[in-house]
């Protein structure tokens, strides 16, 4: 257990530290000026020293990322299901969705700010815009690759279509669904930052960084980037944790015993007397 924990957490942390060491080595080795690129500890220090300014801004970025992601994820699943189930929609809507992703998101950001104002709304829309697509594509693929024999088996049992969907098709799509969500999670914070930049008014993490940039405060620029990256990574890890919790069968051989299930086990001693297996009984 400890070995596994060490490997799963220790190794990523170690590679992160190596990355910082490499950064340090390059900046020192090539004698890079501090206003071009700071030392890693200078960047970190600039964050910790200005934490009271940065944290509320970061909170705003987190809010945009999370709301946008959740809206994008639900929209993505909905579109994926609808398109997989209605072939006409798949043929007509899919090209539009591809088009929506081909439009450079930066070109979309400014008009969105004009339409929706300087509130949180345009940022949420941009994040959702980026997140829904990989989710939709993966859900459509997942639903169209469910084993047809499994669906036929459900038909032989006389299962109504909605039960087949709930108990067979959706669970069978969990893995591709989470692939889409993980891709979306890594891009979500990028969308939020683009939205903040396009707004160019009010206070936000992206504008804080812009301000530092124009002051030639490289430490603050790099520090802010680290904060943004940390938001992205944290959100990604949260999605991964959700996947792990939602798909115990991919790692475990035996199902966990839950207290409420144990209670159920004890109550049906009497029920077993009722059941029997004689021929043709229904």
By CB under 8 A, name the one of 46, 61, 65, 164 that touches another protein: 164
Nearer CB in complex with another protein: 41/249 = 249
Site residues (CB under 8 A) for another protein, limited to 255-274: 255, 257, 264, 267-269, 271-272, 274
The whole-angstrom separation of Cα 76 and Cα 83 is 10
Site residues (CB under 8 A) for another protein, limited to 46-85: none
Cβ–Cβ under 8 Å, residues 126 and 108: yes
The whole-angstrom separation of Cα 97 and Cα 129 is 10
- Closest approach, Cβ 125 to another protein, in A, equals 34
Token digits for 224?
Answer: 């802010």
Q: Which stretch binds another protein (CB under 8 A): 74-82, 137-145, 156-164, 184-192?
A: 156-164
- Closest approach, Cβ 120 to another protein, in A, equals 37
Q: Is residue 154 near another protein by the rule CB under 8 A?
A: yes
| CA 44 to mean position of chain CA atoms | 26
Nearer CB in complex with another protein: 96/263 = 263
By CB under 8 A, name the one of 48, 52, 214, 253 that touches another protein: 253
- Closest approach, Cβ 260 to another protein, in A, equals 14
By CB under 8 A, name the one of 25, 33, 167, 242 that touches another protein: 167
Token digits for 263?
Answer: 């209670």
- Closest approach, Cβ 167 to another protein, in A, equals 5
- Please tell me the total number of residues recorded for the chain in this structure: 282
Query: 230-247 burial string, b = 16+ CB within 10 Å, else e?
Result: ebbeebbeebeeebeeee
| Per-residue DSSP letter, 86 | -
The answer for residues whose C-beta is within 8 angstroms of residue 216's C-beta and 6 or more apart is 35
The whole-angstrom separation of Cα 161 and Cα 166 is 9
Phi/psi at 169 (5° precision) = -70, -45
Cβ–Cβ under 8 Å, residues 135 and 80: yes
Binding-site string for another protein from residue 173 to residue 212, where x marks contact by CB under 8 A and - marks none: -x--------------------------------------
Q: Which residues bind another protein (CB under 8 A)?
A: 147, 149-150, 152-160, 163-164, 167-168, 171-172, 174, 247-250, 252-255, 257, 264, 267-269, 271-272, 274-275, 277-282
């Amino acid at each position: 257990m400890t070995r596994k924990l060490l490997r799963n957490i220790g190794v990523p942390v170690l590679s992160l530290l190596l990355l910082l060491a490499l950064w340090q080595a390059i900046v020192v080795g090539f004698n890079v000026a501090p206003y071009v690129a700071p030392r890693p500890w200078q960047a970190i220090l600039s964050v910790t020293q200005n934490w009271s300014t940065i944290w509320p801004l970061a909170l705003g970025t987190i809010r945009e990322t999370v709301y946008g992601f959740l809206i994008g994820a639900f929209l993505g699943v909905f579109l994926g299901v609808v398109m997989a189930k209605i072939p006409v929609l798949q043929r007509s809507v899919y090209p539009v969705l591809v088009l929506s992703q081909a439009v450079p998101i930066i070109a979309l950001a400014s008009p969105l700010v004009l339409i929706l104002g300087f509130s949180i709304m345009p940022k949420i829309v941009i994040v959702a815009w980026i997140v829904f697509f990989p989710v939709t594509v993966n859900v459509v693929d997942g639903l169209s690759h469910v084993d047809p024999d499994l669906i036929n088996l459900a038909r032989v049992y006389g299962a109504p279509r909605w039960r087949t969907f709930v108990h067979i098709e959706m669970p069978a799509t969990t893995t591709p669904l989470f692939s889409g969500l993980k891709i979306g999670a890594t891009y979500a914070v990028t969308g939020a930052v683009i939205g903040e930049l396009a707004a160019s008014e009010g206070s936000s993490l992206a504008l804080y960084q812009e301000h530092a940039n124009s002051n030639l405060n490289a430490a603050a620029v790099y520090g802010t980037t680290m904060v943004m990256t940390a938001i992205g990574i944290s959100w990604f890890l949260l999605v991964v944790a959700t996947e792990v919790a939602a798909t115990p069968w991919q790692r475990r051989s035996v199902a966990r015993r839950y207290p409420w299930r144990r209670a159920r086990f004890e109550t049906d001693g009497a029920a077993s007397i009722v059941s029997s297996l004689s021929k043709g009984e229904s």
